[in-house]
Structure 1
Amino acid sequence: MAKKSTLDTSITQFLGPKHWFSWCAMGIAYLLSFLPWSLQQGLGKHIGRLLHSIAKRRRHICDVNLKICYPDMSDKERQALTKAHFESMGKGTLETFASWFQEQKKFQSRTTFEGQEVIDKVLAEGRGCILISGHFSSLDICGGQMARFLDVHPIYKLQTNPVMNWVMERQRQAIFSKTIERTNMREVLKSLKQNKAVWYAVDQDYGRKNSVFAPFYGRQCATIAHIGRIAKMTNAPVVLYDYGRTDNGYHLSLTEVENYPSQDDVDNATRINELMEAVIEPKKAQYFWSHRRFKTQPIEGAPSPYNK
């Protein structure tokens, strides 16, 4: 069953004293969204450095992930990449605020895009398409820019903070013609039947029930299986969405994934992970290394690599 959205919930439910701190935080986020881009980038970098200093648990997760994925990386190199990752995530936090509270056209001059011919080709088949990407720190702002070129329906996860959900869902609704909570498979299939692009970020651990194990940087990793299954069920083409921050803005690109899916879930998941590795390598620092990508173990009950 799909989780309950806040889109039909009145704001009056979230005006009590227990939500005041969250509303203050949203107010600060709103004000920060008006900063010039260069100032946002500089401030975001310093916010990231602060988080690197105080967020010990996230720093530990990042360090574990880098040790798993880059076993030959020296301690000095890994520490430098960890710091750069947090700086990138700090920038991404302010970019998220800007994507929520500013007009998308504000960033049009800073955004380059390639792949219009790809999306024209796959949508001409009339079966919609499945857009797949990884999680990078510029996810929200680049997603908003992608909506300028393509009517895309993103899959999203509800957060634990109801005020953030109330704001996030409304702001994203203003950007996208439709958003889909990640458990709502009925809406995914409906969007594909309407010849729309459904966007999945495919590189997080959804748990054992929804995954198969496939190598990611050489280590068996719980990888969502339903991308291949949806593609087989609907014959919808799959398109790789690569995006990221550049020195002066953002670059977005689309590439059709050919000869996909196969009949085997593990083969399909392996292909997905290979594609994710390919888009991570040119911009390692921008990737979400501080998420527990290897949380679910192939052997049930085996200890998590993130345990201290």
Structure 2
Amino acid sequence: MAKPKKISTLNQSIWPYLSPRHWPTWFGVGIAWLLAHLPWKLQRFLGKQVGRLIHKVSARRRNICLTNLQLCYPTMTQNEREQLTKKHFESMGMGFFEMLISWFFPVEHTAPRVTFSGEALLKETFEQGKGCVIIGGHFSSIDLCGGQMTRFVKVHPIYKLQSNPVLNWIMERQRERTFEKTIERSNMREVVKTLKDNCAVWYAVDQDYGRKASVFAPFFGVNCATIAHIGKVSRITDAPVLLYDYYRTETGYHISLQATPDGFPYLDDVENAVAMNKMMEKLINSKKEQYFWTHRRFKTQINEGDKDPY
């Protein structure tokens, strides 16, 4: 069965998505709206419970997480990996509620719970007038913290279309409300335009986008497909690159922008991939349970046709 085609809904009316076949999705969206309006502490509690439930019933996702942890942390005991897996699912459950907050509330709603570091670095970077490429990873609070970043820097995130047209309609409008502009990941012309306008583009560089868009570099000692064109984007525009970190705390969230290593990005795509993966490892190690371990990071193998570990 062919996969549904992913099409942008930004220039489309809502009416085509109100037909009866979409009613189940809209019913789910209504429940999501109600959940988004629950008190924050209750959302955290329920998020953990949702995560625990998914951990019990989703053997496939549980296996992906455990496989990734075994590959990335071979010295961990099996019990340690299982405990970290449980915490990871709890974190992802909380991330579900944070995603709903980002859908239905403006960024000001959560602003009092957010701290930020990197103001001086940002000022120095944008004084160059060349924009900025921001790189980061996928952690469970990505939706909420991504929106919060707009309070500190004019950023245009790179995004991927969804298969469900109703969810696409909602998410694209949420992004349009939050961000001045979003850029579909294949639209390189808009990326260059954003940087020339002295704005930032934001790439999550820790997922497998397939063989054509990647080079292979070690990630926790295991070779994996890593996005290849960050260096190209920076070279074309002469834009500096900053590292984006964010995480959930006991009382809220922290966001930071940090300098990348001297000379980065380099001329060689593989060297860039090695450096980016090292940066991601450092971010992950400080908050392991919040990382997206349920993503099939190693699904593309160096030798085409080799079986992936999942």
Instruction: Check whether TM > 0.5.
Output: yes
* Pick aligned residue for 1:256 from 248, 254, 259: 259
User: 1:278 and 1:214 mapped to 2: Cα distance?
Assistant: 16
Q: CA offset at residue 115 of structure 1?
A: 0.3
Which of 80, 83, 87 is the aligned partner of 2:83? 80
Q: How does 1:120-269 map to 2 (within 5 A)?
A: 120-257=123-260, 258-269=262-273
For residues 195-242 of structure 1, the C-alpha deviation after alignment (integer angstroms, 9 at most, x for no partner) is 101000110000000000000000111000001111112111000000
CA distance in 2, matches of 1:205, 1:94: 25
Q: How far apart in 1 are the matches of 2:187 and 2:23?
A: 31
**1:223-265, Cα deviation, whole Å (9 max, x unpaired):** 0000111111211100000001001000000012131111111
Structure 2 residue 31 is the aligned partner of structure 1 residue 28: yes
Q: Is the 8 A contact 2:133 2:234 kept in 1?
A: yes
Aligned to 1:298: 302
The one of 98, 114, 122 equivalent to 2:101 is 98
Shift of 1:4: 3.6
1:281 to 278, 285, 307: 285
> How far did residue 102 of structure 1 move?
1.2
Task: Give the AA of the match of 1:285.
Answer: E
- Letter of the aligned partner of 1:286 in structure 2? Q
> What CA RMSD, in Å, does the superposition of the two structures yield over aligned residues?
0.9
In 2: Cα distance, 1:171 partner to 1:37 partner: 20
- Deviation, 1:299, is 0.7
Taking the aligned partners of 1:85 and 1:159, their CA distance within structure 2 comes to: 24
- Give aligned pairs, total: 304
Which ranges of structure 1 fall in alignment gaps of 5 or more residues? none
TM-superposed CA distance for 1:36, in Å, is 1.3
Partners of 1:154 and 1:198 within 8 A in 2: yes
- Per the alignment, in what secondary structure is the counterpart of residue 195 of structure 2? helix
SS in 2 for 1:209: coil
Residue number in structure 2 paired with 1:271:
275
Amino acid at match of 1:48: G
> Partner residue of 2:11?
8
**Contact 2:156–2:182 (CA under 8 A) maintained in structure 1:** yes
Unpaired runs of 5+ in structure 2? 1-5
The DSSP-based 3-state class of the residue aligned with 1:154 is strand
Deviations 1:28-76 (A, max 9, x none): 1111111111111111010001111111111111111001000111111
TM-score, normalised relative to structure 2: 0.97
Q: What is the CA deviation profile of residues 140-170 of structure 1, one whole-angstrom value per residue up to 9, with x for unaligned ones?
A: 1001111111111011111111111100010
Q: Distance in 1 between matches of 2:214 and 2:106?
A: 37
**Separation in structure 2 between the aligned mates of residue 53 and residue 224 of structure 1, nearest angstrom:** 33
- Partner of residue 67 from structure 2, selected from 56, 64, 68: 64
Q: One-letter code of the match for 1:87?
A: E
Work out the CA distance in 2 between the residues paired with 1:160 and 1:69.
30
Identity, % of aligned positions? 59
3-state SS of paired residue (2:37): coil
**Which position in structure 1 is the counterpart of 2:111?**
108
Deviating above 4 A after TM superposition, structure 1's stretches of 4 or more consecutive aligned residues are: none
3-state SS of paired residue (2:212): helix
After superposition, give the CA deviation of every residue in 1:86-132 in whole Å (9 maximum; x if it has no partner).
Answer: 10000000000001101211211110000011111111111100000
SS in 2 for 1:10: coil
